[in-house]
Chains A and B, each alone.
Chain A
């Protein structure tokens, strides 16, 4: 974007400008950021408050602001209302399979696009890039028919197979290979008579493991949170995912908020725990994946 600088000007350490840039921010900045984080956390805190109070407390004039002691009772009621065990099991199967397959298949494709030379490579990669931006929902009606032809209505395959790989993750793993897999190592392995698959296994895989891990987490969470397609193609009574089961708690004439938000808390908790444990990697992953002109 900016004009290239020939020969950097000497860094004036401790110039007035630099000093002002390095000044530590004051309490106002921290106060504002605290307000932003509080806004981020409050709805989740609130859903736990409601989840741990008995249904009647919600009807009081002043809403409760601290958790009550009814959480376990409400959890029991959730499991009585919808088959939550089955939903969790289904969501784990779907998200786990999609995660593993996306990471493996995208690593294959990313490695080929980044480090192998073959006719048509650039054109094919442009196709991948072009599909990143196309909203998946647009083909939803024929996709429903395709899945029906395979006999997958109401079966988990209907959600798993179309999600086995996506364009964004191919793009992501290509970036990872560009950065982490050294051309010299690939060439050396080839000279030593290593097959392409051997080269991938011995040279690329060890180098791209961190980025693959981030992609795996992001993919898992996206699959866990997916709603539109599972709602259409799965049977809410026979093969629900967590999100579809949750949406069923939200319908009915008399909304039972404590039941609904207990379900929400249960559905969100696993993802939050993963997020808190791996926050650093996820934050760095998003910051790395950004577009730089």
Chain B
């Protein structure tokens, strides 16, 4: 049997140079490990974010470049534009109609999945399936389902004796249709997050509650929901940030093309579509940058408001 060479170099390193190298390795290498993230983030994340503020203070055309400093004129124009308030309203409306039912449904589904089920993984996978479908595909399929003349939804309504709805044409119906797309894609994902958190709620609490004769409903609201509060906060904040950036669903729901105006009367133009229309449709980079900053502030305020709201769910006890 020949002796196997050891996989690792021996500790006895004779020369000075290799000791020096080892010390440099210990000092410098950790920074080399994390450098790729920080370099790429600086160039493609942080710089664009900060530069947005600078661009928003200029008359800046996407093609012709900087046309001069204009101070807060872009913001003044933005706050005087009824289309901005329209987009803000649509974004908030679609967000509420999609998020509130979605998270409540996710809670209910997670509670069911938390029971000792047969083929648990299969159920979970089935519920997660919509989340891996691309948002473009979702928008196209649901655009067909909500079609005015040949859509499945109107066909079902017709069987129930309800007049067909022109989903795209009105504000309430277009918001509902877009909210359904969002719900379909995200409910299962959030349900799985809740389920993971529910697994960590102490079993003894449930047993004690059951012994005291509390109903399942009662234990759910008094033990489960307070027990998974951090996860509820997390999903609310993430849904808010996602909801305020809603773009592909409404953009593709507009069958008249992809100009980003969101219907004949802008009845479903969201803030991100408004940004897209101004920046990449009309090439007004300065104005679009101002929209981006306002969007950022709105995101921040909504996240904080939600956080405060959900914090009020009482801790377990």
Interface of A with B (CB < 8 Å)? 1-2, 9, 12, 15-18, 20-22, 24-25, 29-30, 32-33, 36-37, 39-41, 43-44, 46-47, 50, 58-59, 62-63, 105-106, 108-109, 111-113, 116-118, 121, 124, 127-128, 131, 133-146, 161-162, 164-165, 167, 170, 189, 191-198, 200, 202, 221, 224-225, 227-228, 232, 242-243, 246-247, 249-253, 255, 257, 260-261, 263-264, 267-268, 271-272, 275-276, 279-280, 282-283, 286-288, 290-293
3 A-B pairs with the lowest CB-CB distances in the bound complex, closest first: A139-B48, A293-B230, A17-B210
* A-B contacts besides A59-B150, A144-B285, A225-B132, 14 pairs, CB < 8 Å: A36-B109, A37-B123, A40-B126, A63-B150, A109-B33, A137-B295, A139-B45, A143-B48, A146-B43, A191-B11, A228-B247, A271-B132, A283-B124, A293-B231
- Shortest Cβ distance from residue B228 to the other chain A in the assembled complex, whole angstroms: 8
| A271-B150 in contact given A137-B272, A140-B279, A264-B141 (Cβ < 8 Å) | no
The answer, among B144, B256, B258, B292, for a CB contact under 8 Å with A247, is B258
Q: Which residue of A lies closest to B203 (CB)?
A: A21
Which residues does chain B contribute within 8 Å of A20, judged by CB atoms?
Answer: 210
| A21-B227 in contact given A43-B142, A142-B47, A260-B140 (Cβ < 8 Å) | no
Instruction: State in angstroms the CA–CA spacing of A196 and B33 once bound together.
Output: 10
Interface centre among B44, B121, B130, B150, by most chain A C-beta atoms within 10 angstroms, is: B44
Decide: B29 and A195 in contact? CB cutoff 8 A: yes
| A286-B126 in contact given A2-B202, A108-B33 (Cβ < 8 Å) | no
Which residues does chain B contribute within 8 Å of A280, judged by CB atoms?
Answer: 121, 125
The answer, among A21, A29, A46, for a CB contact under 8 Å with B152, is A46
What mask results when residues 193 to 225 of chain B are scored 1 for a CB within 8 Å of chain A, else 0?
Answer: 101110110111111111100000000000000
Instruction: State in angstroms the CA–CA spacing of A260 and B196 once bound together.
Output: 37
- Shortest Cβ distance from residue A282 to the other chain B in the assembled complex, whole angstroms: 7
B296 at interface (Cβ–Cβ under 8 A)?
yes
Which residues does chain B contribute within 8 Å of A165, judged by CB atoms?
Answer: 36-37, 40-41
B104 at interface (Cβ–Cβ under 8 A)?
no
Decide: B8 and A189 in contact? CB cutoff 8 A: yes
Q: List 19 A-B contacts (CB under 8 A).
A: A1-B230, A21-B207, A21-B210, A36-B109, A37-B123, A40-B127, A43-B184, A44-B129, A112-B30, A112-B33, A140-B288, A144-B279, A196-B30, A197-B29, A200-B33, A225-B133, A272-B129, A282-B125, A288-B196
Which residues does chain B contribute within 8 Å of A286, judged by CB atoms?
Answer: 128, 189, 192-193, 196
Decide: A29 and B25 in contact? CB cutoff 8 A: no
Which residues does chain A contribute within 8 Å of B296, judged by CB atoms?
Answer: 135, 138
**Interface majority SS (helix, strand, loop, mixed), chain B:** helix
Decide: B141 and A267 in contact? CB cutoff 8 A: no
Instruction: State in angstroms the CA–CA spacing of A2 and B296 once bound together.
Output: 35
B86 at interface (Cβ–Cβ under 8 A)?
no
Q: Which residue of B lies closest to A162 (CB)?
A: B44
Which residues does chain B contribute within 8 Å of A191, judged by CB atoms?
Answer: 11
Contact-size category for B: 35 or more
- Shortest Cβ distance from residue B54 to the other chain A in the assembled complex, whole angstroms: 8
Q: Which residue of B lies closest to A47 (CB)?
A: B141
Decide: B197 and A291 in contact? CB cutoff 8 A: yes
- Shortest Cβ distance from residue B177 to the other chain A in the assembled complex, whole angstroms: 13
| A116-B30 in contact given A137-B272, A170-B37 (Cβ < 8 Å) | yes
Decide: B279 and A15 in contact? CB cutoff 8 A: no
B264 at interface (Cβ–Cβ under 8 A)?
no
69-127 of chain B: CB within 8 A of chain A: 109, 112-113, 115-117, 121-127
Q: Which residue of B lies closest to A133 (CB)?
A: B241
- Shortest Cβ distance from residue B203 to the other chain A in the assembled complex, whole angstroms: 7
Decide: A109 and B34 in contact? CB cutoff 8 A: yes
- Shortest Cβ distance from residue A255 to the other chain B in the assembled complex, whole angstroms: 6
Which residues does chain B contribute within 8 Å of A124, judged by CB atoms?
Answer: 34, 38
Which residues does chain B contribute within 8 Å of A16, judged by CB atoms?
Answer: 210-211
Decide: B316 and A109 in contact? CB cutoff 8 A: no
Decide: B9 and A25 in contact? CB cutoff 8 A: no
The answer, among B13, B44, B115, B140, for a CB contact under 8 Å with A264, is B140
Instruction: State in angstroms the CA–CA spacing of A136 and B231 once bound together.
Output: 23
Which residues does chain A contribute within 8 Å of B127, judged by CB atoms?
Answer: 33, 36-37, 40
Decide: A246 and B155 in contact? CB cutoff 8 A: no
Instruction: State in angstroms the CA–CA spacing of A2 and B51 once bound together.
Output: 45
Which residues does chain B contribute within 8 Å of A227, judged by CB atoms?
Answer: 134-136, 247-248
Instruction: State in angstroms the CA–CA spacing of A271 and B41 once bound together.
Output: 28
Which residues does chain B contribute within 8 Å of A198, judged by CB atoms?
Answer: 8
| A291-B234 in contact given A108-B33, A141-B279 (Cβ < 8 Å) | yes
Which residues does chain A contribute within 8 Å of B247, judged by CB atoms?
Answer: 137, 227-228
The answer, among B48, B184, B244, B258, for a CB contact under 8 Å with A39, is B184
Instruction: State in angstroms the CA–CA spacing of A22 and B206 once bound together.
Output: 11
What mask results when residues 169 to 193 of chain B are scored 1 for a CB within 8 Å of chain A, else 0?
Answer: 0000000000000001000110011
Decide: B155 and A62 in contact? CB cutoff 8 A: yes
Decide: A142 and B48 in contact? CB cutoff 8 A: yes
- Shortest Cβ distance from residue B169 to the other chain A in the assembled complex, whole angstroms: 15
| A279-B52 in contact given A1-B315, A33-B113, A193-B9 (Cβ < 8 Å) | no
Decide: A44 and B45 in contact? CB cutoff 8 A: no
- Shortest Cβ distance from residue A69 to the other chain B in the assembled complex, whole angstroms: 20
Which residues does chain A contribute within 8 Å of B292, judged by CB atoms?
Answer: 137-141
Instruction: State in angstroms the CA–CA spacing of A105 and B241 once bound together.
Output: 26
Which residues does chain A contribute within 8 Å of B306, judged by CB atoms?
Answer: none
Decide: A202 and B316 in contact? CB cutoff 8 A: no
Instruction: State in angstroms the CA–CA spacing of A14 and B120 once bound together.
Output: 24
